[in-house]
Amino acid sequence: MALRLTNTLRSPFSPSSSLRAKTERRFVVLRCSAEYQTLSSSDHSKLVLEVKEKLKKEYPSLATGKNGRDDEEMILWFLKDRKFSVEESVSKLSKAIKWRQEFGVTELSEESVKELYKTGKAYVHDHLDKYGRPVLVVVGSKHLPAKQDPVMNQKLCVLLVERALSKLPPGSENILGIFDLRGFNTENGDFQFLKFLIDVFYYYYPKRLGQVLFVDAPFVFKPMWQLVRPLLKSYASLVRFCDAETVREEYFTADTIPPDFRN
């Protein structure tokens, strides 16, 4: 659905390019699915074991346990992300596990980011969307980089990503991100934070973001999007510009709509 033209930014995707993007996404999904299916469970197990042994040998100081170098579920996920290349998986996994240690992911809590958490600038919705995905909502007008600690912003971001992923039901693998841009102004723009967010999902939570909705984006958001889009590369196809009505009608039922999007 096209955006309303009054005080909102036109979608950067024309109808034809939108159709091409959907077709390309479908092709990528089918191709990746085919690649995945060519390997048996036995092949998966062998590759997981190979990655695990290489991590143990080459990075013995990395943490073990959940989200550690011997977490077979995590290893398999990164193997899928790296098209089952052992070397690439080891490289990306080692960086991700090291980052988790240095960032202190396991120590994050509501209490550790209490002041920002109370602003309601971002939250994990209580309900899944129609496609069975946990929902992470960001309220752009409440993001005030000149007044808020950038490190705390990053910690809140990671805490909420972790919380959203913890809500994944069986059979679901990624989450929906909603950027509510109603009321967004120049003082809310924060290129560095958006770059951090892109890095987080690309390097540390690969393929965990299923789709991103930019809702009712105003014209002042356009320069920010022009800066960010090149950084997304192929992941730009995950982005959809839409209005609040689309969010209500296409992604939720009357009982599961996020409070901010109720009529």
Q: Are residues 46 and 141 in the same domain?
A: no
User: Token digits for 73?
Assistant: 């579920």
Predicted local confidence at residue 263, as pLDDT: 75
Q: Are residues 136 and 257 in the same domain?
A: yes
What is the extent of the structural domain holding 196?
A: 112-261
Last residue of a domain, one of 105, 133, 161: 105
- How far CA 236 is from CA of 42, 80, 105, 108, in Å, comes to 35, 20, 27, 29
| Strands 175-180 and 239-242, sheet pairing | unpaired
Q: Are residues 142 and 207 in the same domain?
A: yes
Q: Which residue, among 236, 138, 134, has the nearest Cα to 175 in the 3D structure?
A: 134
- Domain annotation covers residue 141: yes
Q: Are residues 236 and 124 in the same domain?
A: yes
CA dist., res. 221 & res. 140, Å (int): 10
- Domain annotation covers residue 12: no
Q: Are residues 166 and 239 in the same domain?
A: yes
Domain count, the chain: 2
Q: Are residues 83 and 157 in the same domain?
A: no
Last residue of a domain, one of 57, 74, 105: 105
Please give the chain's pLDDT, 263 residues, in tens: 333 333 444 455 444 444 444 444 444 444 444 444 567 788 889 999 999 999 999 999 999 999 999 999 999 999 999 999 999 999 999 999 999 999 999 999 999 999 999 999 999 999 999 999 999 999 999 999 999 999 999 999 999 999 999 999 998 999 999 999 999 999 999 999 999 999 999 999 999 999 999 999 999 999 999 999 999 888 899 999 999 999 999 999 999 999 999 87
Q: In 10 A of CB 44, how many CB atoms?
A: 17
Q: Are residues 126 and 81 in the same domain?
A: no
Q: Are residues 54 and 173 in the same domain?
A: no
We report the CATH number of the domain holding residue 176 as 3.40.525.10
Q: Are residues 222 and 240 in the same domain?
A: yes
Q: Are residues 47 and 167 in the same domain?
A: no
The DSSP annotation for 89-100 comes to: HHHHHHHHHHHH
Last residue of a domain, one of 105, 127, 144: 105
The DSSP call for residue 4 is P
Q: Are residues 247 and 165 in the same domain?
A: yes
* SS3 label, residue 12: coil
- Domain annotation covers residue 31: no
Q: Are residues 170 and 131 in the same domain?
A: yes
Exposure of 11 in the CB half-sphere (CA atoms within 13 A)? 20
- Domain annotation covers residue 144: yes
